[in-house]
Homo-oligomer: A and B are copies of this chain.
Amino acid sequence: MFVKITSKTLYSLHFLCALTIKAKSNPQKPVHLREIAKEYDIPFKFLEQIAILMKSVGLVRGTRGKTGGYQLAETPESINLARIIKATEGELLPWADIEGGNEVIGGILHTIFQEQRDEIDRKLSAISLSQIAEKARQRLEPAPMFYL
């Protein structure tokens, strides 16, 4: 593939959206991973790893113990898609060996893609978690009554 999004990113977005949506109706209260795993059909143990990763990059806070769980460490408005994807997929710029420099074709490609990468970074940075969560919430809403 050329542009690649792994399921780790998908799961991470589900996770963060869940925290965002649930915080609306009940702020302050941590959300259990089991709950999210069940609702979004994510393998629980995999979700645990993702939660730890999200915590390590400062996007969420974990509370231990029986009434523990996770909640966003920042407002969903201040968290953008670029930060999330960089956490899950690594830096947007890939070819470390190409950047080496003296390799001819690599150098050419590097020049060609530099501009494009900056553009992608800008666009992803302009999309906030709150926007994504809002769209997800809309799509998840049950059909209006008058369809029944």
| Interface residue ranges, A against B (CB under 8 Å) | 1-5, 10, 13-14, 17, 81, 85-86, 89-95, 98, 103-109, 112-113, 116-117, 119-120, 123-124, 127, 132, 135-136, 139-140
Alpha-carbon distance A38/B43, docked complex (angstroms): 49
One complex includes copies of this chain to the number of: 2
Nearest CB on B from A84, distance (A): 11
Alpha-carbon distance A4/B139, docked complex (angstroms): 31
Q: Taking CB as reference atom, which chain B residue is nearest A139? A: B104
Q: Is the CB of A116 within 8 A of B123?
A: yes
Alpha-carbon distance A78/B91, docked complex (angstroms): 33
24 A-B residue pairings within 8 Å (CB atoms) = A1-B89, A1-B94, A2-B4, A2-B5, A2-B92, A3-B4, A3-B93, A3-B116, A3-B120, A4-B4, A5-B94, A5-B95, A5-B109, A10-B98, A10-B103, A10-B105, A10-B106, A10-B109, A104-B140, A105-B136, A107-B139, A112-B123, A112-B124, A116-B123
